Amino acid sequence: MKTTVQRKRTIFCLMLLSMLWVITASASAPDSSRVDQLIAQGNSFAEKTFENQKALQSYQAAAALEPGNYEALWRISRSYVDIGEHLPATTDQEKTQQLQTYEKALEFANKAIAANANGAMGYTRRAIANGRIALFKGVWESLDLVKQTKADCEKAIGLDSKDAAAYYVLGRTHMKVSEKPRIVRWPLGLGWANLDEAVKNFEKGISLRTEFIMYRLDCARAYVEQDEYDKARAHLNAIATLPTMDEDDGQFRKDAQQLLETIKGK
């Protein structure tokens, strides 16, 4: 009889411990569904209503629940770039704030890569952040950043051949570096840049994301540099028919129209 009572007590204690473990585990484990909801909410702010600060807050809330969440981390990086691009940069204080915002974008791109070294978007976002910092500081004063930007784009493309943003940024890098003659760039290790590669990468990005205005606008600019005016016009004329997918598309449409006027008759 005593043995039976002891067994019942033992079973009861084991059941109690099991229940406590389940409760504790549930309390400490991240709420994956909530994380997904916050990321989806951030995507809506970032891609539909273009409320960058709200997007950032949503992604930060997701990362607070799950600090190693790759999807949240690279999107935080994206949000910092989106915010930085629209900050005023007239005074020294404003310029410092803008640079710090791009540096935060770089920090979270690095965190995304640490969370998932095989994820293409972490490298793409790092390329974009470094590219923004290089443009801010001056491309020719930031040679290591330029080279890192190219390497990260190529890494991203190697991991995901359909990463449209990586192709676009690689095209931008080729076009920007090509502004100086190759004889000047070669000793600096930048002899690889050329407009043919810029166009090739722009066109690849466009083929993957046909309705994104910014890709077509920069591709048209590259064609103008090559005196390929008909090809430039084809992209510029298409822009007027494309939907708004970026908060700057209104300005991009104006820029496209101005470029069309500039090359009129050529």
* Banded model confidence at residue 4, pLDDT cuts 50, 70, 90: low
Give mean pLDDT, residues 76-99: 97
Residue 25 burial (C-beta neighbours within 10 Å; 0-12, 13-18, 19+): exposed
Q: For residue range 234-256, list pLDDT tens digits in order.
A: 999 999 999 999 999 999 999 99
CA angle 98, 102, 103 (to 5 degrees): 115
Residue 24 has pLDDT above 50, yes or no: no
Q: Is 232 helix (H, G, I), strand (E, B) or coil?
A: helix
**Overall residue count recorded for the chain in this entry:** 266
What pLDDT, on the 0 to 100 scale, is given for residue 30? 53
Q: For residue range 189-211, list pLDDT tens digits in order.
A: 999 999 999 999 999 999 999 99
Residues 41, 44: Cα–Cα separation, whole Å: 5
Alpha helices of the chain — where are they, by DSSP H? 2-28, 32-44, 52-65, 70-85, 92-115, 120-137, 143-159, 164-177, 182-185, 195-208, 213-225, 229-239, 249-262
CA dihedral 178→182→184→188, nearest 10 degrees, is: 80
> With b meaning 16 or more CB within 10 Å and e meaning fewer, what string describes 97-119?
ebbebbebbbbbbbbbbebbeeb
> Six-digit token pair at 99?
């640079």
> Six-digit token pair at 135?
């443009």
Q: Taking each helix axis from N to C terminus, what angle separates 249-262 and 229-239, rounded to the nearest 10 degrees? A: 150
* Banded model confidence at residue 27, pLDDT cuts 50, 70, 90: very low
Residue 25 has pLDDT above 60, yes or no: no
> Which of 159, 156, 160 is CA-nearest to residue 148?
156
Residue 20 has pLDDT above 50, yes or no: no
Q: How far apart are the first and last CA of the chain?
A: 104
The pTM (predicted TM-score) of the whole model is 0.88
CA dihedral 198→109→213→244, nearest 10 degrees, is: 180
> Which of 191, 193, 140, 199 is CA-nearest to residue 167?
199
Percent of all residues in the chain with a pLDDT value above 70, rounded to a whole number: 89
